[in-house]
Amino acid sequence: MFKRLFLAIFTCFFLAPALSYSNPEVGPLLKRLEEKISGVKTLETEFIQEKKLAVFNNAVVLEGKVFIQEPDLFSWHTDKPVRYVMVIKGDIIKQWDEDTKQVQSLSLSRNPTFLVAVNQMKVWFSGNYTSLLKDYEARVVTSQPIVLEFTPKPSAAAFNIIKKVRMAFQEDERYISRIDIEEKNQDSTSLVFINTKINAPINSSAWELPRHQ
């Protein structure tokens, strides 16, 4: 059950972005951010993800870590409220959750919907923002620290789902500090990154799933 909930949140969260700038100051800013983040070869960061559903009073809060190693390693570990691990190596994604203690393995190329979500996720974390300049209007909310807001165009696939997306960057502009998504059904999702380590060695255990099944 938890894995299904996580995947629903994950897919909604990362299917949202695809950017386009109508504000003249946004274009150079996106390129500057992209250049700085391109220097990030490994990343380890803790996250707190909060999903607020309009039909419930209480939010769903997930805590864990994200690991990235260029060119093709990505790992998402949720530690609370229950454990869940997702590891992506190239085209293969493996998942394990505490409820079933089972490992599920699948090919991204054979699961196009999930492939789109994963590719969008990689774009956010890798900083390749200019590769997505087509579906969203963008504006600068603040410049110190940088906060950008993206609103889907009527022609965008997310137009009927997403109201707006906000991204906040760390002061050194080398990484994201927070992402907030407001949905048109009044649901919302936030993802806050803390204790971020850039270009530090990553323990090999980050790419492994729990052995007990």
Give residue limits of the domains in the chain. 2-207
Percent of the chain at pLDDT exceeding 70: 79
Predicted structure pTM score: 0.77
pLDDT in tens, 180-193: 988 888 888 899 99
pLDDT in tens, 20-40: 445 556 778 888 888 888 788
133 pLDDT tier (thresholds 50, 70, 90)? low
CATH dotted code for 2-207 = 2.50.20.10
Q: Cα dist. 82→45, 59, 64, 71, 166 in Å?
A: 18, 15, 10, 29, 27
